[in-house]
Copies of this chain bind each other. A is one copy, B any other.
Amino acid sequence: MKPISLADKLARFSTHWDPHVVADYNGNDVMVVKFQGEFPFHLHENTDDFFLVLDGEMAMDIDDQSHIVKTGELFIVPKGVTHRPRAQKECHVLLIEPKGVPNTGDPTTAAPKPRI
């Protein structure tokens, strides 16, 4: 039980699309992640997906719409909705997903989500 600096955690890795767990909340992984480039379109059948932009700007593509999400903005993708996060420049994001959820929607391609 102590304060967790998200900036300090983000300074500890440089890889993109590589979420790192910083805390637990009721069986959810609370993660920081760096986005740059384009992630595959995917969906999570059984969970919403929580994104809070900490620094920079991302796009969330859903169907034929692209939502720009800026620093200090939250975007929650409801379960079952196909989506693609994307960022032209590096963007830092707080991500929350239940433990065991593959970030790609597919366990065979999912990132390992190490704890830092």
A positions within 8 Å CB-CB of B: 1-7, 22-26, 28, 30, 47-48, 50, 52, 54, 60, 62, 67-70, 72-79, 81, 94, 96, 98
Contact = CB atoms under 8 A, between A and B. Distances in A.
> How many copies of this chain does one complex carry?
2
Contact of A23 (B1, B5, B76): B76
- Complex A-B, nearest 10 residue pairs according to Cβ-Cβ distance, in ascending order: A3-B73, A4-B74, A3-B69, A25-B50, A26-B48, A23-B76, A25-B48, A3-B75, A5-B73, A6-B72
A78 B60 CA distance: 32
Q: Secondary structure of the A side of the interface?
A: strand
Contacts of A28: 26
